[in-house]
Structure 1
Amino acid sequence: MKKLILSAAILLGSLSIQAENTVLTTTTVNSVNYQDEYKEVDAVPAAIKTSLDNAYPGVKLEKAYVNDKKEYKIEITVRGEKSIVYTDASGNIIKK
Structure 2
Amino acid sequence: MKKFFITASMLLGSFATFAMSPEMSPYSNEIISKVQDYKEIKVSELPKAITEAFANDFPGATIDKAYVNEDKKYKLEVTTAEMSTTLYANEKGEWIEK
Instruction: Give the shorter-chain TM-score range.
Output: 0.5 to 0.7
Instruction: Report the RMSD for the aligned CA atoms in angstroms.
Output: 1.8
Residue identity in the other structure for 1:67: N
Runs of 4+ in 1 over 6 A off after TM superposition: none
CA–CA distance in structure 1, aligned partners of residues 49 and 97 of structure 2: 18
The share of aligned pairs that are identical, in percent, is 35
Aligned twin of 2:37: 37
Hey, which of these two has a bigger chunk of helix by percent?
A: 2
Q: Does 1:76 align with 2:78?
A: yes
Which digits, 9 at most, give the CA deviation of each residue in 1:53-81, with x for residues without a partner? Answer: 11111110100000000000000111141
CA–CA distance in structure 2, aligned partners of residues 89 and 71 of structure 1: 6
TM-score, reference length from structure 1 = 0.62
CA–CA distance in structure 2, aligned partners of residues 58 and 52 of structure 1: 10
Q: How many residues align?
A: 65
TM-score, reference length from structure 2 = 0.61
Larger Rg: 1
Unpaired stretches in structure 1, ≥5 consecutive residues:
1-31
CA–CA distance in structure 2, aligned partners of residues 47 and 59 of structure 1: 16
Aligned twin of 2:58: 56
CA–CA distance in structure 1, aligned partners of residues 67 and 82 of structure 2: 21
Q: Does 1:47 align with 2:49?
A: yes
